[in-house]
Structures are given as structure tokens and as C-alpha cells.
A = this chain, B = another copy of it.
Amino acid sequence: MTQRYRMTVEYHGGPMVGFQRQKNGMSVQQAIEEAVEKFCGEEVRVFGSGRTDAGVHAEGQVIHIDLETETTSDKVMGAINYHVKPLPISVLDCAAVSQDFHARFDAIARHYRYLIVNRRAPLTIDKGLAWHVPVPLDAEAMHDAAQVLVGDNDFTTFRSIHCQAKSPVKTLDRLDVIRHGEEISIMAEARSFLHHQVRSMVGTLKLVGEGKWTKQDVIDALEAKDRSALGFNGPPQGLYLVRAVYPD
């Protein structure tokens, strides 16, 4: 009998081509699928709450798989963590769930955090884990401008040309910019995001932070509904998928 397992997965996106299978390198999806096959011989399909780009990290990606093999959630977690080595992917928890659960379709919100380290000196301990911005940023101005983007909006300007979503209209529930010393965290929450949306918004807010753009420029860019009206994307290594939220 088929049993569905739901897992929370953490990964360092650095050495991988992203969550989704690609022909040009190892993905989180492929790594976990191969670990499961090494464990029990089954060829499974991993479904995730959302795709993350190459280099993007996750603290709480949620996935599910179906297994025919008689086993326990504890053994599934241990086996994947064992066989996925040395890739920086780690199953934090695993539970047997009903066939009704779907990691992608049931998620009602995704929470992302984007970390900027704002200081002149290069990064060492945080290298690969944040965007290093040496010019001083005004985090309060960034937060103020960010509120322009909160709500129901057509995010065409903040969308990758490769985005496959049917509609560019999304509801952004939260976009807070918070400074703690040299660290600036940007917290983004929505039911779902367009491809590159968080990194596009962060790239734009960085322009505001350094005084190159005003809040009005952000309003104009949003209203332009034109990708070419955008500044640029923040690099992937600052982005973390923090959690996926489900009705339970």
C-alpha cells in the first residue's frame, strides 16, 4: 500500500542548480529522489512547496513523496540524510500523512527572508549566505518604499521573463525591512510568488536604500507593468525559503 510522507527540508543552495531537476547539474529534487532509490530501490517523485533558484537556501522547504516499501517515517528521514551526503541537504522532520496532502497545492503561504550584510568589509563567515552591500543603505527608506508593493498588485515588473505563472497578479501580505546592526533582513510573505519576484523586489529596494530611487520610482515601476522598468535582482545567496504554511 502506498504511504505518503511529508518532510521539512533544509539546504544550502550553493552547490546546487536549484530545487527543480535540471539537465545541467544536481538539484535538491534529484538528490532526494536518488537518496530514496538508494534506500529502498523505488523511483519516486519529490513534490515541493515551491521551486527555489540555483544558490537559494531553504530553512523550511516542505516536500512529499509516496513509498510502497513498508517502513517508518523515522527510517525514511535517517535514510535520506545518510544517502544524500555529501550534498548540503538535510531532512529536519518526517511524518506519514494522508494521500490528501500535497506539498505544492496545499500550501497557503510561503515565507522568504532575504539577508543583506551592509558594511564596507568583505564577508568571511557569512560568505555565500548573504548579499554583501558595501554602500550604506537607509533601511527605513527601504521599508517605507516596500509598503508600496504590499497588497494585490500586477507584479509584471518584478517577474522573470521565464516566469510560467498564468497571471502576474499576486497578493503580497508582508514586505518588512528590518535592520539589526550591519544585517538587513527583508521578510516577504505571500500565498505564492512569481519567478524572481523576491529577488527583484530586493534589488529595487536596494536602489532605494542607497538613494538612487525614491518611493515614487517604485510606484512608477510597479505601475509600468514592464520588466524593463526594473532595476535588477538581488543575488541568490541572500535568499532563504523560511517556511511553507499549510491549513493545519
Contact = CB atoms under 8 A, between A and B. Distances in A.
Nearest to A127: B88
Contact of A124 (B89, B123, B127): B89
B122 A81 contact: yes
A32 to B, nearest CB: 13
Q: Of residues A57, A89, A122, A127, which shows the largest number of chain B Cβ atoms within 10 Å of its Cβ?
A: A122
A131 to B, nearest CB: 15
Interface string A82-94: 0001001111110
A12 interface: yes
A165 interface: no
A21 interface: no
Q: What's the interface size class on A, roughly?
A: 20 to 34
A66 interface: no
A119 interface: yes
A91 B124 CA distance: 10
B81 A12 contact: no
A27 to B, nearest CB: 15
A179 B28 CA distance: 30
Contact of A88 (B10, B77, B124): B124
Interface in A10-25: 10-12
B125 A129 contact: yes
A1 interface: no
Interface in A121-167: 121-125, 127, 129
Contact of A90 (B10, B90, B121): B121
Interface of A: 10-12, 57, 59, 77, 81, 85, 88-93, 119-125, 127, 129
27 contacts: A10-B121, A10-B124, A10-B125, A11-B124, A11-B125, A12-B124, A12-B127, A57-B125, A59-B125, A77-B120, A77-B121, A81-B121, A81-B122, A85-B122, A88-B124, A88-B125, A88-B127, A89-B124, A90-B121, A90-B122, A90-B123, A90-B124, A91-B121, A92-B119, A92-B121, A93-B121, A125-B129
Given A11-B124, A93-B121, 19 more contacts: A10-B121, A10-B124, A10-B125, A11-B125, A12-B125, A12-B127, A57-B125, A59-B125, A77-B120, A81-B121, A81-B122, A85-B122, A88-B125, A89-B124, A90-B123, A90-B124, A91-B121, A92-B121, A125-B129
